[in-house]
Structure 1
Amino acid sequence: MRRTAVLPRTPRGPAVPALALVTALVLAGCTGSDDGDSGGSGSAGGSDEPAAAGAVTVAPDATRTLVPDTDPVAAAVSTSRALYESSDVAVVAGSGDADAELLGAVAAVGLGVPLLLGSDAPADALGTELDRLGVQTVLAVGDDAGDLLPGGSDVEVVAVPADAGALEEATGLDLAEPTTVPDAERATAVAGLAPDALPVLTAEAPPAPATPSDAPADGTETEASETEAAESESFESEASETGSAEPTGELPEVQRPEPLEDVVVLASGGAQSLAGIATARAAGAEVLLTGGVADPRGSAEVVERLAAEPTVLVLGADLAGAPGIDWKLDAAATGTQLPGGGQLLFPEHTLIALYGIPGSGALGLLGEQDLPASIARAQQYADEYRPLVDNTVVPTFEIIATVASASAGPDNNYSAEQDVETLRPWVEQAGAAGLYVVLDLQPGRTDFLTQAKQYESLLELPYVGLALDPEWRLGPNEVHLVQIGQVGIDEVNQVVTWLADLVQENDLPQKLLVLHQFQVRMIVDRERLDTSRDELAILVHVDGQGSQPAKQSTWEVLHRDAPQPLYWGWKNFIDEDVPMISPQETIETVQPTPELVTYQ
């Protein structure tokens, strides 16, 4: 059983209830203590010579620690509290000052000390953390960073502007050439910092205001621009003469702490996490970003790394505070990946499927050849799509597990259920070859959930999804090919709940649930579809046949007022479409681009 700790959100402002403060202090104790018994190292000793300033890192006691702060200042404090027992030196930058935060991150990683943030709001959180760390010297990066420190503090402040030369002079760090970082890539740039290779990170400048094309004829705008330029040159000259780019104060020599080599910090890469990411890199922890997705299952790299069972700190409200983060981490820690990588189906993958039943070509391409040839054919169809899309194309089988029957059969349900062990070789060998597999249900007069449970042992495999085909869901007195079936949404939602629970209970990757539909009436009250369970990727498969205008019309109608989130599938009929479109036409003309394309 993995132990998860949730660090209390760091309070901002003076009005903190006494009980909340006591709780925060108690929980903070799991990240280190003042007596140094935690096992962290990095402080310099010796009584004859002045000791260098140092820091002591400490791995969280819990195997997982969640830092769900929404505020950047609080998130920076919480990360420092989780990974540092003490530090004689800390870096402070103004929250929201992009250049100061980026250079502060460089300084923190280079020195091996925490990066904290200051703001105009009450500075209780910052001051409390400086006291807890035992900070004696603050390196304040940015023009106003020193003014953001709490009043009454006796720490020495070394103030530097957001200038690479001044930072080098104050710290003794050897910095490389400047690198301009776009807003969306700041977290990535900081996550890649290492003490032996420190670039100068600078924020991308905002675009200059557009020059109006209808400038006044009297030239007043030109005169104003010339005045502004002269004032700018005068300011730059004055700054150079007064030496404003030089640091104030002297930073002591800093001895780096022992790195936290088996600690992984996960973050989505949001702006509120940047300082925490810098602190993690300063402490020697590995930082993995989920690419803006608030789900650790979406990254193949994260899944692979968590399988090694490191100590994990999850940083940022969007990730640490995401619903179901515990079971998502459990699933990622299995290391099991979907065909094509990761544990989320979309938008990372496009599935290209052969539809049918093993042993019979009457119902689709899948049964026109034996198993090895079917795998090869699915791979061939998938290959035709690889140059057409940017994501990973995955060959797929959609196997009809229960077949609509013209006769009632011994169970009187007008559905012929295939034996699980008969299907197993097709399912398992397809999975071993890197295919995804979907089991399709045509239930007749029984219900979808009853039939789905018959294939539970196959659905427990990580690469197997489920499809419900309402065309073949009959009422009590109906028969196939006389009526087109339909299903009520409550029956569908029963399957959603059961299948999602199966995923969570077995720590499985996200599972595909396909709903076949070519008429609005086929799924009654579809607007009430339960799309809240992100254990599943729910996809509506628009599987009508005929002329392309008619198919496109059906596609457009079924998209109207569709619940969200929902994914979409398209079917190409070899013989029935007039005409069947090519892979390139499928991608170019079917919009939005389908996540699943099936061939029958």
Structure 2
Amino acid sequence: MEASTVATAEPAAETENASYEYPGPRPLPGAILPHKRILAFYGNPLSKRMGILGEFPPEEMLQKLDQEVANWEKADSITPVQPALHVIVVTAQGEPSAGGKYRLRMTDKMIDGVLETAKKRDAIVFLDIQIGQSTLQEELPELEKYLKLPQVHLGIDPEFSMKNGGVPGRRIGTYDAADINYATQYLAELTKKHNLPPKLLVVHRFTQGMVTNTADIKLRPEVQVIMHMDGWGGPTLKRDTYRRYIKNEPVQFTGFKIFYKNDLKRPPGRLMTPEEVLALNPKPLYIQYQ
């Protein structure tokens, strides 16, 4: 519904000082955050309606990604920008679909295509899952051959996690800390088994109920958790949503989404500038454009 050259940061030792302000374990060598800011294009290459990643042919999309990277490098010349492609590989469905789980898994061919496109910019890749009435325990093993690659990371979307039944899109779903802990444990075990740099986990959020019991989320040195503000609207609304549901429960690192279309829907809608996003507290280290 609505990856290869591996990009890594400088060794953690270079940033271990009294100014370190992020919750959880200090970054292991090879960790991307907080050394870089990630800038991701989101969507699905098979759909022009799900985001910028699929709205244009790959080369044109990459040129637009280059421009956004340049905009952010200009706005913050201190923090290097890491480009990323954030692709939805399990999409929520309005019908029961195969297995009655209200979700559709994308083919390996589609995922392989995104990995090849990402190589052209040394971009990392996030595989995003909208589980419908399925579970993380059922979906993550299906992606293991990709998640064990050093440049591939994970996104999970509570909006389409229908824990108590129901049709995705008709109401907002939810994840509990226990679900997020399962995901981080799964990723941590992969990093240890395959000697990988730390993985990134993006958790989308724009309401209180989308993530429950955040105080119980376990932070692990092998996984960096990003709580990502996924709401759309004008700048005032977006700032308020970030304050309420991200700043108040940041967990570890934070993210912020810009919608090229939805943020313009309600007058006087406009896109927030990098400078405006950088004025938020805490400063997001993951930026996503849809």
The answer, yes or no, to whether TM exceeds 0.5 is yes
Name the counterpart of 2:230. 543
| DSSP 3-state at the match of 1:362 | coil
| DSSP 3-state at the match of 1:455 | helix
Instruction: Choose from 458, 461, 465 the match for 2:149.
Output: 461
5 Å-filtered alignment, 1:129-528, equals 290-293=13-16, 343-389=30-76, 390-528=78-216
Taking the aligned partners of 2:286 and 2:191, their CA distance within structure 1 comes to 21
Alpha-carbon deviation of 1:502? 0.4
Instruction: Choose from 523, 530, 538 the match for 2:218.
Output: 530
Letter of the structure 1 residue corresponding to residue 211 of structure 2: I
Taking the aligned partners of 1:454 and 1:556, their CA distance within structure 2 comes to 35
Taking the aligned partners of 2:113 and 2:239, their CA distance within structure 1 comes to 37
Instruction: Choose from 245, 251, 257 the match for 1:558.
Output: 245
TM-score (norm 1): 0.43
TM-score (norm 2): 0.86
Say how many residue pairs are matched.
267
Instruction: Let me know the Cα RMSD of the aligned residues.
Output: 2.2
| DSSP 3-state at the match of 1:545 | coil
Unaligned runs of 5+ in 2: 1-10, 18-24, 264-268
Contact 1:541 1:568 in 2 (8 A): yes
Name the counterpart of 1:571. 257
Q: Deviations over 1:146-180 (max 9, x none)?
A: xxxxxxxxxxxxxxxxxxxxxxxxxxxxxxxxxxx
| DSSP 3-state at the match of 1:462 | coil
Taking the aligned partners of 1:572 and 1:537, their CA distance within structure 2 comes to 22
Instruction: Choose from 570, 581, 584 the match for 2:272.
Output: 581
Letter of the structure 1 residue corresponding to residue 232 of structure 2: Q
Taking the aligned partners of 2:154 and 2:227, their CA distance within structure 1 comes to 12
Contact 2:247 2:282 in 1 (8 A): no
Letter of the structure 1 residue corresponding to residue 122 of structure 2: G
| DSSP 3-state at the match of 1:466 | strand
Taking the aligned partners of 1:500 and 1:521, their CA distance within structure 2 comes to 26
Name the counterpart of 1:132. none
Taking the aligned partners of 1:514 and 1:399, their CA distance within structure 2 comes to 12
Name the counterpart of 2:289. 599
Taking the aligned partners of 2:209 and 2:184, their CA distance within structure 1 comes to 20
Alpha-carbon deviation of 1:324? 11
Contact 1:378 1:397 in 2 (8 A): no
Q: Of the two, which has the highest radius of gyration?
A: 1
Between the aligned residues of both structures, percent identity stands at 25
Alpha-carbon deviation of 1:526? 1.3
Letter of the structure 1 residue corresponding to residue 151 of structure 2: Y
Taking the aligned partners of 2:248 and 2:273, their CA distance within structure 1 comes to 29
Contact 2:83 2:121 in 1 (8 A): no
